[in-house]
Structure 1
């Protein structure tokens, strides 16, 4: 299941205003974010995120996060993607700066897109 998609934008505040207006008829609203850095819109079963293009890694022009069932799956995804020729963009491990129980890994696909496997159990 796709948990969230992040796109790289040149001006996060301009893009926030655009998406707030465009998403209003759909009932989508800003869920959380950080002024001048990123904003996440709640789109029902996932998040649509915008992030300033000059933000630090692991952001790439396209970022897709896949929600998995276990930390073991996060680890296995990372190993399999690297074995298939992907690039390491963040080893499996906790990401407490994202959320208390967030655990993820990041790989770059053959075109340089950031693909994440993650789990964030309620805690």
Structure 2
């Protein structure tokens, strides 16, 4: 099980605004804030700082997915991401090549990370 992920971002405010928008629909809230780092938590992690950290630096490539409970959450994640400067990397829909109930949407965040919301129902 993953305890936390640290994502290196070029503009902390821009990325914080983006992630706060898309993750709110999945139950995440901002946890800790400093000049160099912002963390988010869905309340399920044992890490008191949260399970997603944004830190200022030189971005690298990557992909990570967030669990959604409903198809509506996947749609809301995608719509909010587009509205906050994300780019579509795959509109909401089934990805049956993974498994028959794999319902997901993909966004490129402000630094080009491929992020996903996925519902397995």
Please tell me whether Structure 1 or Structure 2 has the larger radius of gyration of its CA atoms.
1
- Pick the structure with more strand per residue: 1
